[in-house]
Amino acid sequence: MSLIEIRKRALNIETVFHEGGPPANPPLRMGSAIAVIRNPYAGRYEPDLTPFMAELRTLGHDLAQELADALGRDKVEAYGKAAIVGVDGELEHGAAWHEAGGWAMRAVLGEPKALVPAAKAVAATGYRLMVPLHYIHACYVRSHYNAMEIGMQDAPRPREILYGLVMATGGRVHSRLGGLTKDEVSVHDGQR
């Protein structure tokens, strides 16, 4: 029997044309793909979460594929991941997404080197979470430090978990604060 029982999924795409300055050309597109699943460990302590983490890989791949297809895989420049655990669960149930969600995005996007930033929380139904993003090839590219909100009005219920992946087609619109640029990345270690 599978540990993953999906109640619902959602795909959200935002298009940012400007942030008060001149229109961006092309506009920035940001998206999230989320799934709400039953928490198989709600209300009890489970000492070994690795089977759950391994099974989440398929969900991670499906969400990453859907989101990359929606934005254009070759256009994705930033990413992040998140989990919101219902109040009958624990934070570690959300942390199971680190490997599953991060691995999935890297696989779908051609193995970029930068770690995938994350956010997680244990919270009530309807909670919204800001997901950090950064450049997929080097996490110190300042122009790509951004965030996108995820959440669902009816999730997660107390015995559920909401898992999400976020991608963007570029850095912040009108970024102009210096630092390492994506064109200056030279070490190819995921940092610089």
Q: Specify the pLDDT at position 91.
A: 98
Average pLDDT of the segment spanning 136-160: 97
Q: Specify the pLDDT at position 155.
A: 98
Q: Is the pLDDT of residue 71 over 90?
A: yes
**Total tally of structural domains belonging to the chain:** 1
In a domain, 189, yes or no: no
Q: Which residues contact 33 (CB under 8 A, 6 or more apart)?
A: 9, 10, 11, 12, 63, 64, 66, 67, 70, 164, 165
In a domain, 191, yes or no: no
- Domain ranges, residue 113: 6-184
166 pairs with which residues across the strands?
Answer: 32, 80
Q: Specify the pLDDT at position 1.
A: 77
Residues 125, 104: Cα–Cα separation, whole Å:
26
In a domain, 1, yes or no: no
Q: Specify the pLDDT at position 162.
A: 98
Q: Specify the pLDDT at position 85.
A: 98
Which residue is listed with tokens 């107390």? 158
139 neighbors 179 (Cβ within 8 angstroms): no
In a domain, 174, yes or no: yes
Provide the whole-model pTM. 0.96
In a domain, 158, yes or no: yes
Nearest Cα to 135, choosing from 156, 108, 121, 117? 117
Alpha helices in 3-145 (DSSP H): 50-71, 91-95, 97-108
pLDDT in tens, 18-66: 999 999 999 999 999 999 999 999 999 999 999 999 999 999 999 999 9
In a domain, 190, yes or no: no
Q: Specify the pLDDT at position 187.
A: 84
pLDDT confidence tier of residue 108, bands split at 50, 70 and 90: very high
CATH of the domain at 180: 3.30.1330.110
pLDDT confidence tier of residue 188, bands split at 50, 70 and 90: confident
Q: Specify the pLDDT at position 9.
A: 98
In a domain, 161, yes or no: yes
3-class secondary structure, 134: strand
Report the amino acid identity of residue 96: A
Query: How crowded is residue 125: how many other Cβ atoms within 10 Å of its Cβ?
Result: 17
pLDDT confidence tier of residue 139, bands split at 50, 70 and 90: very high
In a domain, 192, yes or no: no
